[in-house]
Structure 1
Amino acid sequence: MTTAPRRPHEPGDPVTLDARRTEAVHPGHADLDQLPLPALVQVFVDDQQDAVRAVQAAAGVLEDVVAAALPRLRAGGRLIYAGAGTSGRLGVLDATELTPTFSWPPERAVPLIAGGMEAVRHAVEGAEDDREAGAADVRAVCPGTDDVLLAVAASGTTPYVLGAVHAARAAGALTVGIANNPGTPLLDAPHLAVLLDTGPEVISGSTRLKAGTAQKIALNTISSALMVQLGKVYGNLMVDMRASNDKLQGRAVRMVRHATGADDDAARTALAQADGHVKTAIVMLMLHVDVAQAAARLTAAGGHARLALNAP
């Protein structure tokens, strides 16, 4: 018996879809390819609001993540990121930006991405399906009890990421899962689970859109809140940066002036003596001490400028 060839699915046809919400066909954009340009752009912009709402709904658990990670980082632990595809690239981005922004040691922000660093620019097909590779990559960086794994996967089912979680947890690290679908393994396997329920994408299944945006916001929130708690910020100034180029030198001078009320010449002189370190220059000027005394006060205060300034 011969079977007639199947015709392409038409709108309204019953179609068996993936149960994951990020893989669903968005019900509101069946005519996306026919929209005039202004309407098309507005659709993409408006849909990003769902990313913000998803992170807002997860604020309580993000607070729990920061609270659990903080003592581990204070004890010398590392942030280890694990992901594949867009999620992996966002982990690489967050890890990389901690050093220029907060002078966080690069060896204490370890990004792992399925397929290795080649996958940052080129898709490595099938790498995300290798659960043992995720576990092996984690074991290769020798996680310990002071380390924190941030495992990110929009689907919540990526084998590479699940392998990373299980290996990190077995080694005693704190494990955090960040996923965009409820009821998925990545929200069951780790110590703490962050659901960013962004729903279907405007372009069906393209989780580089609002799912990725929500992940970026969540990672920014976790790492930035940790850096504030670790004394990398004074007021809302990123005072642990070093002025390593013309743009940053200008920014450093403005921050020192803003924090201390010093004039331009005094700010530049203090920064030169402090090797471009904003926090040290601020303590020098506020307390009228030399660079060695400022550095000693900051060390005694655990790196917190406000504590150094208020110490007897």
Structure 2
Amino acid sequence: MPPQTVNRKSAREVFVTDHAPAGPDEFVIAVRVAHDHPLWSDQRAQTHDPAVVIEAFRQAFVLVRHEYLGVPRGTPTAVQQLTLAVHEPHAFRADGTTPLQGVIKVGVTRTDDILDIVGDFLIGSVPAMALSFRSVLFPQDSYREIRDYQRSRRAGRTVDMDGPPEARLIGPELVGRRTRSNVVIGPAAQPNRFPLVVDRSHPSFFDRDYDHVPATLLIEAMRQSALLSAAETGLRTGEALLTRAELDFGMYVENDVPASCVVSANGHPGRVIASVGIDQADVRVASGIVELTEINP
């Protein structure tokens, strides 16, 4: 698909390859993610990354609302709630040379300016994962008013970070990554509180211009913070997948105001459930739970 169809700039960041209606308010979207994608194939675990399906689902949502639901391009939107559940973790196994390919089947319900999209991701014939978004549509004027108000609440909190982003990162091996530039948190300044490191030059998280931190980066920060905390319970972070999430996004996160991810993990070796939250300017702006599960070699 052309990148602009799913609000991307780079063709490498487009994961939707085809689409078709399947019934009233039901749609089928084909997905393909390259085996060597610099972000989404950077797992230390020998698996495809279920989190990339969140981005594919977002792209499917963009396509459906514009191509089928008549929402004008450029209409501001915000995801308020997100859920995912991996039903078949072993379906995500990777050999290092084969792309992740599958089909997203979705249904959409619209109530005024609220859109609910619920679907399944199938790898071959296997229902590997279920996802849902609740998103709100904003008129342009309303969006500008909301953003001006939210920025005004954090006026005076902006800072210039010292040094390049990569100088403030933890080691990638601690959070199941290979590449340092894909780490989005720094060492804990307080117990179980990890500062967000926002690199606006990152080619995947910031493939287009945002006036806020994109949700994909926030979700990755939550996962990385949970992995780091879960390691204390004995979880082998290099073999762990994100297998469940229930997340709420209450406010936009500013690019230039310090933020941190707060996490509390509990469980046992092999499976951990963590409560996570994003704080900025003394406000909890996102929260929820994530589940991490080891996939045995």
TM-score, with structure 2 as normaliser: 0.25
Higher share in helix: 1
Structure 1 or 2, whichever has the larger Rg, is 1
Higher share in strand: 2
TM-score, with structure 1 as normaliser: 0.24
